[in-house]
Structure 1
Amino acid sequence: MTLVEAHVGSLEWLSRLSSLRHLDPSYINLAKSSDWFQVVAKLHSLKSLVLCSCALPPVNPSFIWHFNLSTSIETLDLSDNNLPSSSVYPWLFNLSRNILYLNLGSNSLRGSIPEAFQHMVSLKSLHLCDSELEGGIPKFFGNMCSLQKLGLSQNKLSGQFSQIIQNMSCGCVVNSLEGLYLGWNNFTGPIPHLGGFSSLEALSLEVNRLNGTIGTSLSQLSKLEFLSLDGNSFTGVISETFFSNMSNLQMLFLADNSLALKLSHNWVPLFQLKWLSLASCKMGPHFPKWLQTQNQLVHLDISNVGITDIIPDWFWDLSSKLSYLNLSNNHIKGRLPDLSLRFDGTRIGGTSIDINSNHFEGSIPPLPSNSPFLNLSKNKFSGSVTFLCSISEKTWNVLDLSSNLLSGGLPDCWLHFDSLFVLNLANNRFSRKIPD
């Protein structure tokens, strides 16, 4: 049962649905439904309870001991409700026998991860992301033989990452784990060898305090589809050997480290990426030719990577599927082609384009009308901007043409830019009257 979006008071009427097996009133405001726990506790046939983003009021502690939720529940999602630990833990661990999928993300869970989770022996997926959990990752996770996904991102957890992996490697979870999400915490140290995690498909370690090299520590993860190492202190060189077994890789995030990519000119990767972020890695001075093989890209960020080249013709063949392109903070030179023809003008949401802080020159070409974000600032573009008036159905939200060599008068058609909320034309050579 999935309810339509609404604001609801008492849920007492639900308690009469004694055979109800699935309940999902997500995104309905239940802030005034102070009886939600008592009502749900009466649904003894319930298998799946999803109360995501419902503004649930905290459970009165005096009710907890008088009501027990159905031990038949297999899926429980209470994410994004800002619930404190005291409203969740006391009754949650009575469900340990059968629960398979548990999502408590985006609540106000505090303190260390409770040892009682180890009794949820059937658990396949546990998400405790975006809370205020502290301390380390308990050793018992290594013995949770059914666990496939563990999400602990965006907390205040800490400890040596190598010790965490060692604890997990000693147990049966090394064979079952498919997704490990530990980003936005305070884990430290290098990445140890992870070859034993043969089922791992997703590894999220971004924005921690990890360091060292990553040359061979991940190279045996043949099922890996998602790898995020952004925002750490990794160093060293990544060669094609690192990717030699990653034929399933679809999303790769290595930005904001001190990494250098040394890939041979004729290298052809085994994977087809959809998302790629290499910002601030070293990979210039030329455009990496291996990108020519990546025809499924929807997100590409190669900003501040030391490219001093002109954009090769083949690069624009990648643009038809892109929803985000960032080439900023390089030293790319030359002229741009007609961008309105290179990007898909029918794409829902358009393509955000950021090419600021380069050495592009010449006149600004026709721009895609459906781009929500266009940043062409800090280049050497010259000429008039009167062409802006000729673009129909403009859905731009941000247009930044500042710090160029643009000249002439400003066009008098800004009333037609009804979606525009940021316009920056500063530091150019415009003359004549500013339009009313």
Structure 2
Amino acid sequence: MLTTRVVLAAKPSVPHAEELRRRGQRVLMILPRSLAGQVEGHRDDVFFVSGWSAYDELRQLALRLSDQPVASVTSRKDVCQTAAAFLRGLLGVPGMSWEQSIVATDKLLQKNVLRQAGLNVAACAPVRTLAGVPAAAAATGWPLVIKLRSGANMVGTTWVESEDHLRELAAGGAFTTRTVAAGMEAAGFDRALDEASGGLLIESALDVEVEYHCEVLRWKGTEVYALPARYCAPLLRAQHVGSVMLPLVTEEAGNVVGLARKAADALQLSTGFAHVEIMRTREGRWWLGELGLRPGGGGVCTLVGLQHPGVDVHGLQADLAMSIPPEVHLSPDRPPVAWVGSLAPRGVIVDITPCEVILRYPGVIAAEPALAVGDEAFGPMGTANYAGHVFAAGATAEEAASRAAAAASAWQFRTLAAPDLSLRH
């Protein structure tokens, strides 16, 4: 009987699932029910759930699969990880445990674990609703950052200067319901902040000068790679979200990698990926933000492959699903590569600057559109909803980042703005 690989995803097509199919594996996709209209015909290789906390539905799926040889359950999204771990436990499949998935996705529990490991993390406090923020601010001070306790992609993350500012934001609708792309409601991203199923977290707002991420891959306790990158600007202040890979031999890179390794150790990562967020404040102190036990999102996977040709993150995730030891050959002497995400205003896309135009900008080596004419764009929302990604190389990290940002700014996605949508699909 053909081995089954189960993949939980927020959209019908994900690269590592396609790679598993290319290798001849039987793949069962688990998708949010709102995506049913995007899956053609009757498919026996797709199972729909009402949301990622629909554990009764997942239990029924496990019963259906009990007589099949399920060898792996994977996902590359934070919002799917507890559901994947739950299903993994029911099926007796190796991989991230339920307990580990909770710490990986609950920001309060994770910060407690990181703090206990001796890492600097911002002071924080849980709140059930926004009404609890002023009292909880006694533990964090003002300004502070409000975020979903079990969120992702910075959805709902908001910088708040004072109690008066909090009231102004609330009166202006900053915390109300959102219109989101199909599939995102499965994680509750369409809800008002006060309706977040996992509650909220507030943190001290650090005076961040530089923000970093580090991409980590391990196999049975051995590091395959730890690749440091610097965001183009601190994420809460960035006009364009993107990052540039750092040379591996600098002191800056060494600090980032060292902290990322300690964070991955704290979350007991033995086999798998970690995307670690790190900050340096203006006073020169280093802080751990948070980490996800999955590959980086946005343009990060492509960025890694362009910086280190031959390193295919999606292929490596397929390797792990098939219990194949990952083989990686890094190219440490190549010029730095950067990526920047392009956004489209809310509405239905009616015109896009051709990729060929963007590729003619200095240093640009790739441009990946995520949306096409006729698709609906939902506007900026955290670090999600990219319309496309631009990649550029330069003699220095600063030059690469500047080139990517210039090309991304020139990449225009023209839309019919709501409420005049006539092309809604």
TM range (shorter): under 0.3
More helix by share: 2
Higher relative contact order (CA 8 A, sep 6+): 2
Pick the structure with greater CA Rg.
1
More strand by share: 2
TM-score by length of 2: 0.26
